Amino acid sequence: MSWLVVAGFLIFFLGLMASIALHEIGHLVPAKFFGVKVTQYMVGFGPTLWSRRGKETEYGVKWIPLGGYIRMIGPLPPRPQDHGKLRNLSTGYWQGLIESARQASLEDVRPGDEDRVLYRKPWWQRLIIFIGGPAMNFVLAFLLFAVVFMGFGIQVAKPIVATVSQCVMTVQEQQQGKQCTSAHPKSPAALAGLHVNDKIVAVGGTRITTWEQATGLIRAHGAGPITLQIERNGRPVTLTPTLIGRDAPSPDDPTKIEKNAGFLGVSSVMVVERQGIGYVFSTMGDITARTAAALAKFPERLGNVWDAAFSGAKRDLDSPASIVGAGRIGGEIAASAAPLDAKIISLIQLVALVNLAIGLFNLVPLLPLDGGQIAGALWEGIKRAYARVRRRPTPGYVDIAKALPLTYAVVAVLLVTSTLLIYADIVNPIRLSG
């Protein structure tokens, strides 16, 4: 294994561990601010690798780097009819587990801690505490994307001709790298006399400032003559190429085919430009929407993971991956032949995307994810607001302990899914190089 692969894996791993640590800080800081007693802050699970005890909190790192947690006292309320005292365990398997969990949640409560238990805090404080972790991931993703877009910049297509195709080929011929022959018709750009470095300033009488505007007007025009106003060596020139109409993939969605899309036969000059904060916000919104859509299709895509793991099927690039798989992608990026700055950008974006995925996944309204606690806090807030409006007695705390049977089922599904992803990432990982 190349040392570059190892270096890329370690860089991603350290970025991931930092992300997990900051996610838990997103819970820890508001919890302490609102007076909840926190007994542990841990990165990882399993046996403790290192720890140090503060005034009342043990800070540490555990051996299994698959997440992290903070331990707050009193996350589950006592049974409502017990007035703060636990009864003997009831009969029934699930009821016994629920009562055991209630008892365990109060084990760290000491005299004087009665007002520092989590369940007694107002619903809006618990909402802030549990939304703090995902919010930290979103902030980290935004900052990392900002480093890429505002610090390094992105490639931007300019409405300046970089190359002129001499003939018209099919998409398959272009992908196969075939050369123009006498059997191929000349391209509209070559016939019209377009030159390299010509700057397109208007298409069909419409002034344009970006390459996307130019190509959009050309594609929408379809087959037939169109007027191009260009600047050549500082002088205005008007050309009238006759566009060819052909079926081509949509630039917005390659899975869709546009009928009779206008074809000119030129490519654009690409330059690297730093973007503003507005671009970061808009792009972050687009990436978040795509990531959320991918998470919604997560169960469906597990089928590809299963086939890849046990049938040797090719792993899709958009296939779900575990920490192991994402780390291998980081190693592949580091070992690629790309320039150093391109590798750095790709690794930063990989960590940003992982943070975005972690943040969105934790908002799923199921325990033990943060979204389950968020849903419980919101439901309590809704119930209490309704009671105020109807002038009814204030309802008690939302008893999330009743959801523990479902929680155990979710944990089991997560463990099985994680095992499958890790196995697939070892035997048939996602490969950027194909």
Residues tagged active-site: 24
Q: Pairing relation of β-strands 199-203 and 228-232?
A: antiparallel
Cα gap 78→384, rounded to integer Å: 19
Contact 126, 373 (CB under 8 A): yes
Measured in degrees and rounded to the nearest 5, phi and psi for residue 68 equal -170, 180
Neighbours of 132 (CB within 10 A): 20
Cα gap 328→337, rounded to integer Å: 16
Locate 131 and state its tokens: 């939304």
Locate 181 and state its tokens: 């022959």
CA distances 318 to 129, 145, 346, 425, Å, are 32, 20, 16, 13
Locate 431 and state its tokens: 């490969």
